[in-house]
Structure 1
């Protein structure tokens, strides 16, 4: 219980005590008036009216005192049936209250009507459009994600990531989907740029390393040939090889390109239909993912990714936080400017809220009954009496006043009737 709540309860108890003293004081005054009027009414007949009013006031005060007291406890400690209603029927009251809330406040009609008149998307977007509010939201979300990341066990997360990768990436066959992808790439001609790039890199490498062919050709010539012949052969082979690469590079219909296209198309078909090719690919995949170095690389990648994410989320001046804030502000501004988008979001929010209420209506209402059921009977009585007891004391006061008027009216009518008959 907060300090403010405790202070309010203390003030309510003081007000309750004052009202109880007032109601009891009126009863005592009525009793004194009755006693005086009863003793002197023979000498002063008009005091009969006073006595009747005081008598009615006492009856009304006592009856309403009994009614109010019976709600919270047994009057005078006597276990009269149907008294101490709240402590003895606490659980039933809690269930009735929960059922009342569920039926009258959480019904589909009430929720739909209430949400239909609200511009939730506009209100949220208007609040988020302020950069300070957007930064606050991003900071809260970042703090929550950082806290979650701190709770994660690295070993378990690595195992979970590995399990997900194996289930969705490693275990399915790669051959058929890769074959279908290769067919689409070949059909679109997208592989030609890759071939051009490969030829360009190979030509650049040959230009930068002319000595790479020194032993490849001349090293296989007879040793008795003069050295200048070796050089001429090497240079000629180097020039012809670069010319050949240039021809392939600039001729889209070159036979080498066609041969490469045919090979790739055949390989794509075999990836989809040839069990031997698919099997070799699966074996290579299994060896790669079972290699301890691959697993170590995955573990280090997870650690690095988590560290980078935590650092970016924890730093208020990080680029990630700035971009997230800007994205939130931009999204909010778009919602405010686009009436159709805002209406769509309101409809979605309303449907989501209605679904949640419909699904968890009983669970929400059961919070009330479960909470009341867990209260101590005396604590329950004290809580309810503190909240409403002061107003109930007005019943006693009103009963005293109404009883006095009723007693006076009855006595007056009886007196008039006796005088007439």
Structure 2
């Protein structure tokens, strides 16, 4: 009987995977066994019938009846199994070749079955609660070798992500984000508060000390420049020697003033500077005109090409730092990531509240995805089956369940034979 189906069976190399080829071999082996049993009972029936007609005795009738019923059972089950995948003997018998002709309906039914029985909210919730994901994850992450593995995988992912990203695109996004954020935030009040706090705490004194020292050193090194500036600013009718004496006096006064400011923390000019900074800090926070001027200055600076280039170039520096840290197993970044993973694993192992919270998040997220996308998930099954042609569908299903279906043929032969034997025995006992 199986020889009749040879033309529709899958053949090695016909787009089959290694697993499909192994299933094909097992299927053909079982078909051979089932067909061999049918041939056996057919031969037994022929010999028993001949022996009965030859006067061999009553036993021949029992054997013939059992063999005859076994043939009927084998043929009936062969028809039933074959009708699932193709038309028996190629005849257009109604309700045969069920899988090829009804594959779309079967795909829809399979999708509905999965959706109702595997993607139901209560099923998913019960399964996730039984798994104890947080406890298992904590125990796994708490092992150093697993933490090393996760750290290495994260580093690989970071390197891969940074390699895929185009620097120009990232720089443009960063520049736009920083500029937009800076434009949206008024910096004047914040600067005023910072300046007020610095002046109150005396944090600006070092800067003033440095400025005074630099001013004094500059005057010492550039005496001629100061004298020339004074002489150039003098009226044209004054004698030159007078201009030089005035310039020298101005220079000595400036040098003395710079030295006194440098060496005297209580110099009146320093106090005046403190009062100026205090007033300026208050204006930055309260004076609308000052705040508006600071905002205009901020906008002018932000939109200068040099500032935009500086903002964009920061990505290159950050990218190089991250790549170097990701590639170095002993870098601070990877060591901290490993420590964080181990710490997380230890906390999950001992903190029941944290585990419950994580399990709740995972459960709710999974249920949200399942509930919101159940149709899309089941549509994957339906659409996949629908996209197969009839022959492919029949072949795939037969390769997966066909071997087990052959046991139906074997059982049909055996059960048929036993039923035939029982009927023949009962007939003889009743005097038939």
Calculate the TM-score normalised by the size of structure 2: 0.80
Q: Are positions 1:38 and 2:49 aligned together?
A: yes
Equivalent in 398, 401, 407 of residue 394 of structure 1 = 407
Distance 1:82 1:202, change over 3 A: same
**C-alpha displacement of 1:314:** 2.9
Q: Distance in 2 between matches of 1:233 and 1:387?
A: 103
- How far does the alpha carbon of each residue in 1:230-273 deviate from its partner, in whole angstroms, 9 at most, with x for none? 797567645654577425799xxx67645543442133112xx4
Q: Distance in 2 between matches of 1:53 and 1:374?
A: 47
Distance 1:211 1:246, change over 3 A: farther
Count, aligned residues: 404
Aligned 8 A contact 2:147 2:341 in 1: yes
Q: Which runs of 5+ in 1 are unaligned?
A: none
- Matched residue, 1:267: 284
Q: Distance in 2 between matches of 1:325 and 1:400?
A: 65
Equivalent in 66, 70, 80 of residue 53 of structure 1 = 66
**C-alpha displacement of 1:69:** 0.7
Calculate the TM-score normalised by the size of structure 1: 0.82
- Matched residue, 2:29: 18
Distance 1:7 1:228, change over 3 A: closer
Q: Distance in 1 between matches of 2:212 and 2:280?
A: 22
Q: Distance in 1 between matches of 2:29 and 2:252?
A: 121
Q: Are positions 1:163 and 2:163 aligned together?
A: no
Q: Distance in 1 between matches of 2:349 and 2:33?
A: 58
SS at 2:93 equivalent: coil
Q: Are positions 1:336 and 2:349 aligned together?
A: yes
Counterpart mapping for 1:156-235 below 5 A:
156-170=169-183, 172=184, 174=185, 177-182=186-191, 185=194, 191-202=200-211, 204-205=213-214, 211=220, 233=253
Distance 1:52 1:212, change over 3 A: same
Q: Distance in 1 between matches of 2:369 and 2:260?
A: 75
Aligned CA RMSD, in angstroms, stands at 3.5
Equivalent in 351, 374, 378 of residue 365 of structure 1 = 378
- How far does the alpha carbon of each residue in 1:334-389 deviate from its partner, in whole angstroms, 9 at most, with x for none? 33233322332222222222222223333233322232223333233222222222
Distance 1:71 1:357, change over 3 A: same
Q: Are positions 1:105 and 2:114 aligned together?
A: no
Q: Distance in 1 between matches of 2:394 and 2:252?
A: 112
Larger mean CA deviation between 24-33 and 201-210 belongs to: 201-210
Q: Distance in 2 between matches of 1:263 and 1:256?
A: 10
Distance 1:410 1:190, change over 3 A: farther
Distance 1:242 1:45, change over 3 A: closer
Distance 1:393 1:234, change over 3 A: closer
- How far does the alpha carbon of each residue in 1:165-222 deviate from its partner, in whole angstroms, 9 at most, with x for none? 232223x2x4xx4344356557867753334444443455567667489759x96996
Aligned 8 A contact 1:196 1:249 in 2: no
Distance 1:260 1:169, change over 3 A: closer
Q: Are positions 1:347 and 2:360 aligned together?
A: yes
